[in-house]
C-alpha cells in the first residue's frame, strides 16, 4: 500500500469519528442564564394575588384565604420545582445508554511492515439495557412520591391558613371585649376622680380602679401584639408585604368533627393523607431498588463490534465482549445498603402511622374536653347578662352602688372573652383534626405499574 493510500484510510477513520462526535453534540442542550431576582417580589395587596381567575369577595372567608395561600405561598412555589426534577429523573431513566466508541492508531516508524495500524470498536452496556425498564418504573414511583409530598405540604398550608384566619377573627373579638371593659373602667375612674376632687373619696379607694385599668390595658397590649404577629404570619403565607391589609369576613364556620368522622378517617387515612401515601411510595420504590441491587449481582456485560487493520494491511472484524467476574465484590455492599434502607423506611412508615393515630385520638379527646368547658361557660352567661342588666337599672335609679354594677359588667365581659378563647381553641383543634385525617382529600391511589418488576 502506498503512503498516500495509507493516509487516506486513516483520514477516513478519523473523519468518521469526528462526524459521529459532531452528530452527538448537535443534540446537546445549550446553556442559558437564569439570573436571581434583585429584590423580594412581595405583593402589596390582596387584589394582586393569583386567584386562578376567580373574583375575590370584599371580605375573605376562611376557605378564600386557604385557596389564596395554596396559590401564592412562596415556599410552595419553590417546592413545586421538585416536580420538574422528578420528571427529569423519569426522562433520564428512559434513555438508552450511550454506546462507547474507541479508536486506536499506531504509526509505522520502522520494520518490515507497510502501513499504520488502527483499530475501531464500539460496545453497548447490556446490563444497563436489562435494568432500564426497572429504573424507569422506579423513577416514576419517585415522581409520584414527590407529587404526594407536594400535595401534603399544600394540605398543611391550607390548615395553617385556616388556623391563622380563625386566630385573627377570634382575637379581634377578644380585643373588642377588652376594649369595652377598658371604657367601662375609665368611666368609673372618671367618676372616682370627680369624687376625689369633691373630697367624697380617697386615693386609697381609687387605687383598685387604677389597678384594674392598668391590668386590662396590659391585656389589650398583649392581644394587639398577638394580632400583629398573626397578621404578619398570614401575610407571609400569602406572599404579601407584612403591612398589607387582609380583609376577613369575621365568620368562622368550621364543621364539628364527630366520633364517626374519627373512626372513618382512621380507616381511610392511609389513602387520604398524602404524607402516608408518599411514605408508601418511598417504601415500595426502595423495595424495587433492593431487588434491582440483587439483579445487579450478575456480571456486568458489554457487547459490540470491533475491527481494524494491522501494519501489514490485514483487516479484521468481529464481536467483542466485556464482562465483570463476580468474585470479590458481587455488589454485596450495595445489596446490604438497599436492604437496610428498606427496613428503615418500613419502620419510618410504621412510626408515622402510629404517631398520626395517637395524635388524632389525643386531639379528639382534647376537643371533647373543650366542648364541655365551652358548654359550661355558655350556660353561665345568660344569668350574668340578666344580672348586669338589672344592676344597670338599679344603679340608674340609685338603688345599687356603681361598683357593684362595674363588678357584674366586668365579670360578664371576662366571661365573654373566656368563651371566645375556648371557641378559638375548639376551632383550632377541629382544623388540626381535619388536617391530620386528610378529611376532604380524595383517596390517592398507587399505580401498580410504578413499582412492579
- 341: domain CATH number is 1.20.1600.10
Is there a domain that residue 35 lies in? no
Mean pLDDT of the chain: 85
Residue pLDDT, tens place only, 175-191? 999 999 999 999 988 88
Q: Which residues contact 62 (CB under 8 A, 6 or more apart)?
A: 161, 162, 165, 166, 249, 251, 252, 253, 254
In this prediction, residues 338-360 reach a mean pLDDT of: 94
- Find the domain containing 116 and state its range: 3-20+53-450
In this prediction, residues 292-316 reach a mean pLDDT of: 78
Q: pLDDT exceeding 90 applies to what percent of the chain?
A: 43
Structure-model confidence comparison of residues 91 and 66, the more confident one = 66
Q: What is the DSSP string of 247-261?
A: -B-----PPP--HHH
Give how many domains the chain has, as a whole number: 1
Is 50 exceeded by the pLDDT of residue 291?
A: yes
Q: How far is Cα 36 from Cα 404, in angstroms, rounded to an integer?
A: 66
Structure-model confidence comparison of residues 449 and 81, the more confident one = 81
In this prediction, residues 312-326 reach a mean pLDDT of: 78
Q: How far is Cα 272 from Cα 266, in angstroms, rounded to an integer?
A: 10
Is there a domain that residue 360 lies in? yes
Is there a domain that residue 306 lies in? yes
Residue pLDDT, tens place only, 369-398? 999 999 999 999 999 999 999 998 998 888
Structure-model confidence comparison of residues 414 and 52, the more confident one = 414
Is there a domain that residue 98 lies in? yes
Is there a domain that residue 313 lies in? yes
Question: Counting every residue, how long is the chain?
Answer: 453
Is there a domain that residue 220 lies in? yes
E strand segments, 78-130: 100-106, 117-125
Is there a domain that residue 31 lies in? no
Beta partners for residue 223, in sequence order:
none
Is there a domain that residue 157 lies in? yes
Q: How far is Cα 132 from Cα 92, in angstroms, rounded to an integer?
A: 10
Residue pLDDT, tens place only, 237-283? 999 999 999 999 988 888 899 999 999 999 989 988 999 999 998 89
Q: Which residues contact 102 (CB under 8 A, 6 or more apart)?
A: 119, 120, 121, 122
Is 70 exceeded by the pLDDT of residue 450?
A: no
Amino acid at each position: 500500500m502506498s503512503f498516500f493510500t495509507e493516509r487516506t484510510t486513516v483520514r477516513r477513520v478519523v473523519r468518521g469519528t469526528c462526524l459521529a462526535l459532531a452528530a452527538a453534540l448537535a443534540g446537546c442542550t445549550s446553556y442559558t442564564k437564569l439570573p436571581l431576582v434583585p429584590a423580594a417580589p412581595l405583593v402589596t395587596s390582596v387584589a394582586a394575588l393569583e386567584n386562578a381567575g376567580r373574583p375575590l369577595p370584599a371580605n375573605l372567608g376562611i376557605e378564600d384565604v386557604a385557596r389564596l395561600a395554596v396559590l401564592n405561598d412562596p415556599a410552595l412555589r419553590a417546592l413545586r420545582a421538585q416536580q420538574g426534577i422528578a420528571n427529569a429523573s423519569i426522562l433520564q431513566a428512559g434513555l438508552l445508554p450511550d454506546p462507547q466508541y474507541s479508536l486506536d492508531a499506531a504509526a509505522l516508524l520502522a520494520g518490515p511492515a507497510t502501513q499504520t495500524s488502527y483499530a475501531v470498536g464500539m460496545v453497548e452496556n447490556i446490563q444497563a439495557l436489562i435494568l432500564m425498564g426497572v429504573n424507569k418504573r422506579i423513577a416514576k414511583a419517585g415522581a409520584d412520591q414527590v407529587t404526594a409530598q407536594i400535595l401534603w405540604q399544600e394540605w398543611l398550608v391550607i390548615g395553617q391558613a385556616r388556623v391563622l384566619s380563625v386566630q385573627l377573627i377570634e382575637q379581634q373579638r377578644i380585643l373588642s371585649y377588652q376594649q369595652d371593659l377598658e371604657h367601662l373602667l375609665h368611666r368609673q375612674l372618671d367618676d372616682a376622680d370627680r369624687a376625689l376632687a369633691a373630697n367624697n373619696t380617697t386615693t386609697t379607694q381609687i387605687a383598685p380602679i387604677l389597678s384594674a385599668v392598668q391590668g386590662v390595658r396590659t391585656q389589650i397590649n398583649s392581644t394587639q401584639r398577638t394580632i400583629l404577629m398573626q397578621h404578619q404570619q398570614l401575610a407571609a403565607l400569602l406572599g404579601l408585604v407584612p403591612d398589607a391589609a387582609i380583609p376577613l369576613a369575621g365568620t368562622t364556620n368550621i364543621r364539628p368533627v364527630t366520633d364517626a368522622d374519627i373512626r372513618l378517617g382512621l380507616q381511610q387515612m392511609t389513602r387520604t393523607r398524602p404524607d402516608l401515601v408518599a411514605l408508601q411510595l418511598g417504601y415500595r420504590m426502595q423495595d424495587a431498588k433492593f431487588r434491582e441491587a440483587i439483579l445487579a449481582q450478575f456480571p456486568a456485560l458489554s457487547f459490540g463490534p470491533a475491527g481494524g487493520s494491522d501494519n501489514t494491511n490485514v483487516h479484521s472484524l468481529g464481536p467483542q465482549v466485556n464482562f465483570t467476574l463476580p468474585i470479590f465484590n458481587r455488589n454485596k455492599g450495595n445489596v446490604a445498603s438497599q436492604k437496610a434502607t428498606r427496613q428503615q423506611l418500613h419502620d419510618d412508615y410504621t412510626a408515622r402511622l402510629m404517631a398520626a393515630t395517637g395524635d388524632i385520638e389525643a386531639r379528639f379527646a382534647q376537643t371533647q374536653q373543650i366542648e364541655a368547658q365551652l358548654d359550661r361557660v355558655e350556660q353561665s352567661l345568660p344569668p350574668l347578662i340578666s344580672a348586669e342588666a338589672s344592676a344597670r337599672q338599679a344603679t340608674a335609679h340609685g338603688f345599687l352602688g356603681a361598683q357593684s354594677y362595674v363588678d357584674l359588667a366586668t365579670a360578664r365581659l371576662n366571661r365573654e372573652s373566656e368563651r371566645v378563647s375556648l371557641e378559638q381553641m375548639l376551632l383550632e383543634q377541629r382544623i388540626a383534626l381535619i388536617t391530620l385525617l386528610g378529611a376532604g382529600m380524595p383517596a390517592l391511589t398507587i399505580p401498580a405499574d410504578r413499582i412492579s418488576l
